[in-house]
Amino acid sequence: MLPITPIFVRSKEILKQLSLLLDEERVAFGELSSDTIVSLSEQKKSLLDEMNQLNNKRINILIKFDVVDRDNPTEEEFKVWLDQQDSSMDHIRLLMQECDLLLRECKTKNHTNARILNTLQKRNKHLFELLQGHSSKNKVYTSRGSTKPISSKHTLGRA
């Protein structure tokens, strides 16, 4: 019997925590709470670091028990091996399925948050340009082919 059940149990717990953090992050974006956003980012990084460590530990165990190739271990190799096992491994199959569902949920939430963040960044950039007196119509090309705004004499800071 492979000693990987605790790894999958902890991975499931981490994915649940990550999902909750992603929900909190979306709320923080709506409230424009930068301190909360930074704190949540640090918590997410900590969880993802632990998840990476668990994944490495799981791969090392699978290599040790000759379940996957030592030189090129793949997830697919493990799944094929797991499918060939008897019903005593059903609990691991179930944990893997739950982790896969939670992972997909986290990826969807993360993608949504990235889109929200991108929108907020564009809005803030536009507002900053307005404060500087720049207009999206008043841009010139630089020597590298990008554009840069031309300052207006009538900025809000000078008014």
**Residue-level pLDDT, tens digit, the chain, 159 residues:** 678 999 999 999 999 999 999 999 999 999 988 899 999 999 999 999 999 999 999 999 999 998 899 888 988 999 899 889 888 889 999 999 999 999 999 999 999 999 999 998 898 888 887 787 666 666 666 777 776 666 555 555 554
Q: How buried is 18 (Cβ within 10 angstroms: 0-12 exposed, 13-18 middle, 19+ buried)?
A: buried
pTM of this prediction exceeds 0.75: yes
* SS3 label, residue 152: coil
Q: What is the pLDDT of residue 116?
A: 93
| Pick from 73, 51, 47, 50: nearest CA to 60 | 73
- Is residue 106 within a helix (H) or strand (E), and if so which, with residue range? helix 90-132
CATH topology of domain 5-133: Methane Monooxygenase Hydroxylase; Chain G, domain 1 (1.20.58)
Q: What is the pLDDT of residue 49?
A: 97
CB 22 within 8 A of CB 109: yes
Tell me the domain boundaries of the chain.
5-133
* SS3 label, residue 34: helix
